[in-house]
Amino acid sequence: MPLPSSEPPLLQTTFICAADVTTGCNADNSIAQLSGGVDRVSVTYAQLPQVLIDAVVAAEDRTFFEHRGVDPLGIARALWANVRSEGIRQGGSTITQQYVKNVYLSQERTLDRKIKEAALAVKVERELSKEEILTRYLNVIYFGRGAYGVQAAAKTYFGIDVEELNLPQAAYLAGLIRAPELADAKLPDGDPRAEPQREEATNRRRSVLAAMLEMGSITQEEHDAAVAAGWDDVLTRTHTGNFGRVAHPELGTEYFVDYVRQWLVKHAGFTDAEVYGGGLRVYTTLDFDLQEEAVSAITSTLDRPDDPAAALVSIDPQGRVRAMVGGLDFASSRVNLAVGTEGGGSGRQPGSSFKPIALAEALEQGVPLSKVYDAPGKKVFKGADGGADWTVANYADAGLGQLNLVDATRKSSNTAYAQLGLDIGPENVAAMARRMGVTSQLDEVPSIVLGTSNVSVLDMATAYSTFANGGEHLGPFVVTRVTDAKGALLYEAPSRRERVLSEDVAAQVNWTLSQVIESGTGTGARIGQPAAGKTGTTENYRDAWFVGYTCSLTTAVWMGYPGAPGEPVRSMRSVHGQAVTGGSFPATIWRKYMAKATDGLPSCPFERPRLAPTTSDTFVPGTAPKPSDTTVPPTSTSTPATSSTTAPATTTTTAPMTTTTASGTTSTSAPGG
């Protein structure tokens, strides 16, 4: 096999297709196309400043000028890591191997390709000088912003030629090589990823400088000065992605595509260069019919100019994300409200929709559904919150008497659940949430049981899908497989189920949550077939949720005003003339969507467990409770659950409450809404 010329290979566009395309994803049937918008100008070795050479070698291959193409120790480490992960993930590649992969080989993640890569690297080292290899490598690799090669990168990021790069600039470019799209130091104003990406850029530059200091390439004084350098010399990026022709942007497709783009790098192990120029064929899980129904459910319910936003995620029993509404206007805001921090947001408090996770943990610990707690209007837990008193209240300080866990869930009593949370341990509630798929950071404090840690809509859909799957957890995924332009398989979604709840515990939770819809705070979510779910509302009506499922589909709905950095989030005390709770608009959106989405899918009853207690005041199915039906008065009344209007169905709900933590911060929950 002859060695390549100094000219880099031609790049190819990556195509992304929806779930209806199972083979032959191409320009005609794709929903979006990813292209780096190629910008490349080749340079010679003489044009490379020594500071750049030192930075790249320190960052990518410290023994580059000593080895003969491969680093045996690096390969051994990578092989061991890949064997343990049952796939090719770690490279352990030298600069020579990286160059060979870019110009010679396909993007396959196979052991055979790695062997070829090593063999060709040795051959390249025999026939080309180190200087020529390094020059070719720096002319080929992707630096982000559509810049291929170091000259284009210098122009794109700093507006200068490569010869003019100084130490901080060279260290930054060297740090970008592995995943440039995750560490852009200067995104446009208002881009939600600006701060985390700048932090990542700072960390990478600091890491390269530390390596250069360790190798003796720079002095301590030079190191310290470069670490202290700011980012004023970096040009602002003019765009953050090129999705080509996007299908149905009015359905929020761009948010989904952007999430897929990031997912390919973060979770599937592809490089930015492969995603933007590797000619990938990406087959996704998005069902456009369900996406359209989701958007219709939201826009027909929230149909006034000043209405809050809503986000929705729907997952099937295989873990496939079938619909994701993270926003509807990508041009005005790139924050994906469905995926929390991964979408540039912060996540939101789930309120009482988090209680079923605590219920599952309690049942796993052996606490029966018949366990009874006093549910006074207000209760003070002495020293419970890091030594400070923790005060919890129901709506309007209403006492609810004694409640078993079914009624405590159905009525969403905070004082009862606060006691349950302390009995089973906040750290155990957090651990259960993580096992069920909540990836957001959780505070292991007493108020966790009342939903005071920020989570994403995807998190909540994933956790509840564990209930729907009978206690088995499946990690959600948006890509089923990836091939190269010739059809060779590069990635296939794993099918791994992990039992995190016993079947008996899952059945008890399922029946309990079905009672929430039958006669509790979630009557507005009735869809004419067995379903289970839970409402949630937070302090001052800032967030409202409904998360629920049938045996065929799990869907989480969040509603709220997104807010702006540094500004308080608006309250939803008066939307269409009423305060928003999880049992109102979110339940309506869920009902509209699920009624359509589950039409024709299997319907499964949630059987009453043998030892489940009877509810104390179960309402007659199909009738809306009146204020006199319960000790907790409803916050709103409107049309019945069977109505097709945009107004929410009548529900028994309660207003949000506030608890104060030891640190003096306010944590929130909603007892029923």
Please tell me which residue, 527 or 630, carries the higher pLDDT value. Answer: 527
pLDDT digits (tens, 9 = 90+) for 281-328: 999 999 999 999 999 999 999 999 999 999 999 999 999 999 999 999
Match 């928003």 to its residue by tokens.
580
High-pLDDT (> 70) share of the chain, %: 83
For residue 201, give the nearest of 170, 228, 176, 235 by alpha carbon: 176
What is the arithmetic mean of pLDDT over 220-240? 91
User: Residues 6 or more apart from 509 whose CB is under 8 A from it?
Assistant: 356, 359, 360, 363, 467, 501, 532
Q: Is the pLDDT at 402 greater than 90, yes or no?
A: yes
CA angle 119, 122, 126 (to 5 degrees): 140
Does the residue 92 lie in any domain? yes
Q: Is the pLDDT at 632 greater than 50, yes or no?
A: no
pLDDT digits (tens, 9 = 90+) for 583-630: 999 999 999 999 999 999 999 999 999 878 876 654 333 333 332 222
Does the residue 509 lie in any domain? yes
Distance CA 30, CA 284 (A): 10
DSSP characters for 233-267? TSPPPS-S----S-S-GGGTHHHHHHHHHHHHHHT
Lowest mean pLDDT among 168-177, 191-200, 404-413: 191-200
Please tell me which residue, 39 or 229, carries the higher pLDDT value. Answer: 229
Sign of the CA dihedral 523, 525, 528, 530?
Answer: negative
Residue 617 near residue 631, CB atoms below 8 Å: no
User: Does 450 share its domain with 588?
Assistant: yes
What pLDDT is stored for residue 349 in this prediction?
A: 96
For residue 480, give the nearest of 495, 492, 462, 496 by alpha carbon: 492
| Three-state SS sequence of 282-344 | EEECCCHHHHHHHHHHHHHHCCCCCCCEEEEEEECCCCEEEEEECCCCCCCCCCCCCCHHHHC
Does the residue 338 lie in any domain? no
What is the arithmetic mean of pLDDT over 645-669? 35
CA separation, residue 424 to residues 106, 357, 358, 367, 499 (Å):
52, 12, 8, 9, 20
User: Does 54 share its domain with 199?
Assistant: yes
418 falls in which pLDDT band (50, 70, 90)?
Answer: very high
Q: CB atoms < 10 A from the CB of 560, how many?
A: 24
Q: Is the pLDDT at 468 greater than 80, yes or no?
A: yes
Does the residue 20 lie in any domain? no
The mean pLDDT value of the chain amounts to: 85
Distance CA 624, CA 185 (A): 55
What pLDDT is stored for residue 76 in this prediction?
A: 63
**Strand bridging mode 479-483 / 321-325:** unpaired
What pLDDT is stored for residue 655 in this prediction?
A: 35
User: Does 469 share its domain with 618?
Assistant: yes
- Buried-exposed string 69-97: b where 16+ CB fall within 10 A, e elsewhere: bbbeebbeebeeebeeeeebebbbbbbbb
3 state DSSP class of 669: strand
Distance CA 234, CA 239 (A): 14
Residue 19 near residue 176, CB atoms below 8 Å: no
Please tell me which residue, 428 or 496, carries the higher pLDDT value. Answer: 428
Last residue of a domain, one of 227, 252, 267: 227
Q: CB atoms < 10 A from the CB of 568, how many?
A: 10
492 falls in which pLDDT band (50, 70, 90)?
Answer: very high
What residues form DSSP beta bridges with 535? Answer: 546
179 falls in which pLDDT band (50, 70, 90)?
Answer: confident
**Torsion angle, alpha carbons of 41, 45, 46, 47, to 10:** 30
Does the residue 320 lie in any domain? no
- What is the tally of structural domains in the chain? 2
What pLDDT is stored for residue 634 in this prediction?
A: 29
Last residue of a domain, one of 175, 192, 227: 227
What is the arithmetic mean of pLDDT over 62-77? 76
Residue 270 near residue 2, CB atoms below 8 Å: no
- Buried-exposed string 189-202: b where 16+ CB fall within 10 A, e elsewhere: eebbbbeebbebbb
Distance CA 673, CA 578 (A): 13
Residue 290 near residue 322, CB atoms below 8 Å: yes
Tallying the residues shown for the chain, one arrives at 673
178 falls in which pLDDT band (50, 70, 90)?
Answer: confident
Q: Is the pLDDT at 382 greater than 50, yes or no?
A: yes
Q: Is the pLDDT at 661 greater than 50, yes or no?
A: no
User: Residues 6 or more apart from 405 whose CB is under 8 A from it?
Assistant: 359, 362, 367, 368, 369, 370, 371, 373, 416, 420, 512
CB burial class (10 A; 0-12, 13-18, 19+) of residue 297?
buried
Residue 279 near residue 16, CB atoms below 8 Å: no
Helix 167-176, helix 150-158: angle, nearest 10 = 120
The CATH number that applies at residue 367 is 3.40.710.10
Q: Is the pLDDT at 453 greater than 90, yes or no?
A: yes
What pLDDT is stored for residue 613 in this prediction?
A: 85
Q: Is the pLDDT at 35 greater than 50, yes or no?
A: yes
Copy the structure tokens of residue 218.
Answer: 């720079």
What pLDDT is stored for residue 199 in this prediction?
A: 95
What pLDDT is stored for residue 69 in this prediction?
A: 77
Lowest mean pLDDT among 107-121, 321-335, 384-398, 497-511: 107-121
428 falls in which pLDDT band (50, 70, 90)?
Answer: very high
Match 């069920």 to its residue by tokens.
436
Q: Is the pLDDT at 544 greater than 60, yes or no?
A: yes
Cα atoms found within 13 Å of the Cα of residue 52, Cβ hemisphere only: 25
CB burial class (10 A; 0-12, 13-18, 19+) of residue 131?
middle
Does the residue 207 lie in any domain? yes
3 state DSSP class of 608: coil
648 falls in which pLDDT band (50, 70, 90)?
Answer: very low
302: left (phi over 0), alpha (psi -120 to 50) or beta: beta
What pLDDT is stored for residue 672 in this prediction?
A: 45
Alpha helix positions (H), 108-181: 111-127, 130-140, 150-158, 167-176
Q: Is the pLDDT at 9 greater than 80, yes or no?
A: no
Give residue 630's identity as a one-letter amino acid code: T
Residue 536 near residue 543, CB atoms below 8 Å: yes
66 falls in which pLDDT band (50, 70, 90)?
Answer: confident
Please tell me which residue, 147 or 664, carries the higher pLDDT value. Answer: 147
Distance CA 285, CA 281 (A): 13
pLDDT digits (tens, 9 = 90+) for 128-167: 899 999 999 999 888 988 888 999 899 999 999 999 999 9
Distance CA 64, CA 94 (A): 7
Lowest mean pLDDT among 74-78, 105-109, 302-306, 649-653: 649-653
Q: CB atoms < 10 A from the CB of 430, how many?
A: 22
What pLDDT is stored for residue 372 in this prediction?
A: 96
What pLDDT is stored for residue 274 in this prediction?
A: 85
Distance CA 518, CA 513 (A): 9
What pLDDT is stored for residue 241 in this prediction?
A: 59
Beta-strand ranges (E) seen in 519-636 are 532-537, 544-549, 554-560
Last residue of a domain, one of 193, 227, 261: 227
User: Does 223 share its domain with 360?
Assistant: no
Residue 484 near residue 278, CB atoms below 8 Å: yes
Range of the domain at 355: 348-474+496-560+568-669
Q: Is the pLDDT at 656 greater than 70, yes or no?
A: no
Q: Is the pLDDT at 72 greater than 80, yes or no?
A: no
Distance CA 199, CA 87 (A): 30
The CATH number that applies at residue 120 is 1.10.3810.10
Q: Is the pLDDT at 483 greater than 90, yes or no?
A: yes
Does the residue 386 lie in any domain? yes
Q: Is the pLDDT at 259 greater than 50, yes or no?
A: yes
Does the residue 150 lie in any domain? yes
What residues form DSSP beta bridges with 412? Answer: none
Q: Is the pLDDT at 81 greater than 60, yes or no?
A: no
